[in-house]
Amino acid sequence: MINPTATGSDKLFRKVLAFSAALIAGIALVAGVVGFLAAGTDGLVSALIGASIALIFASLTALSVWLGGRLPLGGFYAVVMGGWLLKVVIFLAIIAVLKNASFINGPVLFFALVASILGSLAIDSWLFLKARITIEPK
């Protein structure tokens, strides 16, 4: 349901989240099939984990920038930097847990993660560059 009072930035962040989710789902599908053909079930699971990690991180990025945009400049930097630090800690924890997992195929996980990250960055850039957001005085 579309909120009639949504601002231009609200609409932009909804698009970013929707497009990123769709792209990462497509990458998960393709990487899952390729991973399954290359490494069996371990490849499939690795591809899905890699795409899931990218989806979580892309969502956290969009949400932190959206939330920070509602705050004064100092608050914006605090939320975005805090979100970045949180993502680093979460990423290190996930890698530490998955490091010795027997069901992980490293190359499949890596390539699914990289493709998903690069795709979400491309979507962020593309949507931001084509956005038409009016600046309203506060």
pTM for this model (two decimals) = 0.84
Q: In the chain, helix, strand, coil percent, each to 5?
A: 80, 0, 20
Residues 6+ apart with CB under 8 A from 65: 13, 80
Q: With left for phi above 0 and alpha for psi between -120 and 50, is residue 64 left, alpha or beta?
A: alpha
Kindly state the tokens that stand for 114: 């990289």
| Domain range list for the chain | 8-130
Whole-angstrom Cα distance, residue 115 to residue 40?
Answer: 20
What tens digit of pLDDT does each residue of 35-70 get? 999 999 999 999 999 999 999 999 999 999 999 988
For position 41, what pLDDT does the model report?
96
